[in-house]
Structure formats: structure tokens, C-alpha cells
A and B are shown apart, each in its own frame.
Chain A
Amino acid sequence: MDEREGLEQRIAEWRSYVRRRQAVHAVDVEELEDHLRSQVESLGAAGLNADEAFLVAVKRLGDLDSLSREFAREYSERLWKQLVVGPATVDAAPAQSHDAVRAVLLAIGAAIAIRLPEAFGWRLGGPAPAESFYLHNAALLVLPWLAVYFSRKRGLRPSDWLGWSLPIVVAAVVMNVTPFRPAGSTEVLAVLHLPIVLWLTTGIAYASGRWRDHAQRMNYVRFTGEWFIYYALIAAGGGVLMGFTMFLFQAIGLNAEQAVATWVLPAGAAGAVLIAAWLVESKQSVVENMAPVLTLLFTPLFAILLLFFVGTMLWTGNALDVGRELLIGFDLLLVLVLALLLYAISARDPQAPPRWFDRLQLALVVCALLVDVMALWAIAARILEFGFSPNKVAALGENLILLVNLGVSAVLYVRFLGGKATFTELERWQTSYVPVYLIWAWIVVAIFPVVFGFR
């Protein structure tokens, strides 16, 4: 009996030791434990005592470093951040410092690029023609550097370089050739949608040309979320820095406001795009999965908000009063719900069975759909009454695109919770849908001005 207890204790120790490996999940440990016990039993039957049998069985399982590395390799998608295993990182060290140099150089490049037009007389914040030059080109001056960063880092072939640079050149031509009426709706819409075009095009470089690959698309979605968080952190730090700059120079009687606004702010904002990307790429294990953590935090809160909203609306019988700008507000709500959904999906182990969190996600999506259908109803009435305008059509189009995505997601969620579909189908639906955003953004940038007569 003593021997039995000793064995149990040793297995418990072994289990907690293996559990510390992040790449090996609890279910995997359970499977390995079954193996260990089977081995111990059969060795015991062959005459070994429990201690000896345990030692032999553990030895045969193999050394834990290479085992957990093997698990991490198999689950590289789900364990995106946890590939920091053992000695492999030693070889990576020179490559990492090389990568840092590249990121900093490109960040300086982006910072110079955003200021360079000044040398040709296009003053930032200057009068009308210069102002619209920056409005049209700010994203074009910065985001291509990010694409260059990925292309260099991934060692893209020349044909893949063309894959992203050609669309960017086309976008640059469109933005600078289209005779926008100053401050017209189509101009504002094009400026707002251009970054989406450029960002998704950069994804081609990120995926080293394999943008058809669903895993690569999901990785780019993850990257986007983490990048956003890093960028927000850098922006917060940068704000403090600029505040102190102005404060210090004011103390010696100099006004630094002009220098900060025309130099530090634009150059810093441009460079931070690259630095944030580099941080996401190289410091993955430091800010571990921030986007999913925030998702976990905010999904219940938003679900509660929307539930109460729908409930209140039904209770009071107040109809939605959708003004012109309100539809954009509902667009943003859908984008937010979609983001919560995407990051929940990207962080989830596709093979795990449904959990309570999945039901919560479904509740959130269904509520958002309800609210949105009511908003759409109201806006359709408005369009019938007042006719079409670029803003309304753009908002309506986005609304429909997001509505279709969330609607199908809801159906897939229900099927998944009912055991009729796998989670992978939901993931694939999201990644298959990414090109729709790109196409729509292109339509708004390139086709809307023509259709609506540049107004």
C-alpha cells in the first residue's frame, strides 16, 4: 500500500512539473499521464517495483524540453506567444538585434517621409492646398514603410514585393488624381477608407505573399489587435513626453508648442507605427495576448449593455431616432462587436468543446444584430424620404457588410453550440471574409467620388 501511495505522489509531482510547460495543455498532460500509468502497470507486471517502473516510464516519455517544443510546434497557431522554449532562442538573438536595427531605421524613414513634403513647400497645417495634400497622403507616406519592414523581415521574393507595392501605387495615383471638391463628403470618405486599403494590403507582405492561407490571415488579425494596443501605449507615453517638453521649455521662457506640433507629433506618430509593429513581432511573450484578455473583460460588459438597451427599448416603447450621424455610431458598434468576436476566436483553442463564454459571445452578437436591424430600418426610411448621399450609402454599405458577417457568425455559433459544426468553420468564415473589407474600402476610395460627382 505504501508503494502505491509513493507512486501516486510521484505522479502528482510529475504532473505539476509538466503543467508548468505552457505548450502542454492540461488535456495533453492527462493523455500523457494515462500513457505513463499504462507503462508503469505493464512494467510492474514484468516484475519491476513501482519506483523502478516509474523511473523507466518517465525516461521513455522522453526529455520534457524537446517534448514541449514538439507540442509548441504542433500548436503554433493556438500557442502563438508561447514558442519561447529552451535553447532555440539562443540562436535567435543575433537575428533579433538585427531586426531591431531594421525597425528603427524604417521608423526614422517614416518620420522623415512624413516631414519631407515640407521641403517642397507643402506646409503641415498650412493653407488649403497643402492641407489637402497631407490629408490625401499621410497614410501613403507612412504605411508602405511597414510593408517594407515585413517584406525585408520575411525575405520576400521580388514578385511578392509587387503584390503589395502595385496596389499602393494605384492608391497613391487615385488619391492625387481624383478632383475632389475640397472638404466634400467623398473626399472625407476616401481619406477615412484609405488606411483600411493600405493596412490590408500590408497584410500581403506580412503573410509573405501567402495571403490566401487562412492561418496567415488569422495571424494578421492577431497582429492588428496587438499592434493597436502597443500603439495606444506608445501614444500615451508620447503624450507625456510632449507635455513635459512644453513644460520644460516654458520654464525657460520659450514656447515649444510649434516645434512639438509640427515636428515631434507627426514624426513620432509615423515612427511609432513601425516601432509598435516591431514590438509585437519580437516581444510577443511580454504583453501576453493582450487583445484576448481585453476581449474576455469587455465581452460580458458589452453584452450586458446591449441586453439592457434592447430591454429598455422594448419596455419604454421608445423608437430609435436615427439622425444622419447616428448610423455611423451603429457602424462603430458593429465594428466593436466584430472585434470582440474576432479576438475571442483568434485566442480560442478550436478543438475545445463549447464553454459558457461561447454562449455569452452568441448573446452579444445576437443583441448587436437586433439593435442594428432596428437602426437599419430607421435609416432605410430616412433614405426613402431624403434620397441618397455618399455618407449614407457608405454607412449603409458598411452596415450591411458587418450585418452579413455577424449574422452568419451567429448561425455558425448556434450550430457549434449544438454540436453540428466545428469551431474551425467559424474561424474560416471570419478569415474568408477579410477580402470583403478590402474590396469595399477600394470601392469607397476609388469609385464613390466618380459615382457621386466628387461632391
Chain B
Amino acid sequence: MDIAKDLVAASATPLVLAILGEGESYGYAIIKRVGELSRGELQWTDGMLYPLLHRLERKGYVKAVWGQSETGRRRKYYRLTKAGTEHLAAQRHQWEVVDSALRGLWFTGAEPRLRPA
């Protein structure tokens, strides 16, 4: 299944923030986690994650620190800040509103009609 581009873009910020909410992480691990969570259905272009992370850093939602990987390579780790936690809570609320509105429709049992009656 291909998820619409707009939807992928819109969900990227809350996903990244929520994953960082689980604990400090880095780019490649975040991508892998997204893959796991969506069972491979949500496909990002890997590179695009980085401008997004930098944007979040500029806005003060995450803090980046250079550290080392298990193999000793230099690696940039990201951590959620207090502002990021607050933003995540706000985002979560918005998504819950959208989600519950859609659920209200999905589960009334009516299949979408193809043609207006």
C-alpha cells in the first residue's frame, strides 16, 4: 500500500518526536523504528529525515549531541527537550481529534458510495 505523500509528511514530526520520547536515538535507528511500527508500510526517503531533525533542533524540540557508535564511528544523537515534550503532547491531541472524527465515520458501517444518489 502506498500512503499519500502529504500524509507521510504530516505524520513525520509527531512520529519522530514520539520515537525520541522513548529515549535518545539517532537517524538510522529512527528510520528502523518507523519501519517496525508501521510494519514496513510507512516508507520514508531516508535522507529526508535529516533536514527534519535539524528543523526540530532549530525549533528547540530536540537537542543534538555528537557521540560514538558501538563501532567507534562519530554519530549524532538526538534527545527530546522539554519544549519538544510539550509540542508532542499538543500534536498528539490534534491527531487524536482527527483520528476520533474519522473513526466516528469508519465504524458507522456505511461503505462509501461511489456515485451520489
Contact surface of A with B, Cβ cutoff 8 Å: 28, 30-32, 34-35, 37-39, 42, 60-62, 66-67, 70-71, 73-75, 351
Partner of B76, one of A34, A60, A67, A73: A34
B82 CB → nearest A CB, Å: 16
B100 located at the interface, meaning its Cβ lies under 8 Å from any Cβ of chain A in the complex: no
Partner of A61, one of B45, B54, B57, B76: B45
Partner of B26, one of A34, A70, A71: A34
A55 CB → nearest B CB, Å: 14
Contacts of A74 in B (CB 8 A): 51, 54-55, 58
Q: Complex Cα distance A74/B74, Å?
A: 23
Partner of A67, one of B27, B31, B47, B54: B47
Q: Complex Cα distance A10/B54, Å?
A: 27
Closest residue on chain A to residue B43 by CB atoms: A60
A31 touches B27 (CB 8 A): yes
Given contacts A30-B74, A74-B54, A74-B55, A38 and B28 within 8 Å (CB-CB): yes
B86 located at the interface, meaning its Cβ lies under 8 Å from any Cβ of chain A in the complex: no
Q: Complex Cα distance A272/B69, Å?
A: 56
B28 touches A34 (CB 8 A): yes
Closest residue on chain A to residue B29 by CB atoms: A38
B74 touches A32 (CB 8 A): no
Closest residue on chain B to residue A39 by CB atoms: B28
A70 touches B48 (CB 8 A): yes
B106 located at the interface, meaning its Cβ lies under 8 Å from any Cβ of chain A in the complex: no
A62 touches B51 (CB 8 A): no
B111 CB → nearest A CB, Å: 37
A35 touches B28 (CB 8 A): yes
Q: Complex Cα distance A74/B55, Å?
A: 6
A73 touches B27 (CB 8 A): no
A62 CB → nearest B CB, Å: 3
B71 CB → nearest A CB, Å: 8
A34 touches B54 (CB 8 A): no
B69 CB → nearest A CB, Å: 7
Complex A-B: 16 CB contacts under 8 Å? A28-B50, A28-B54, A31-B76, A34-B76, A35-B31, A35-B46, A35-B47, A38-B69, A42-B32, A61-B45, A62-B47, A66-B45, A66-B48, A67-B45, A67-B48, A75-B54
**Residue of A34, A35, A39, A75 with most partner-chain B CB within 10 A:** A35
A60 touches B26 (CB 8 A): no
Q: Complex Cα distance A351/B55, Å?
A: 12
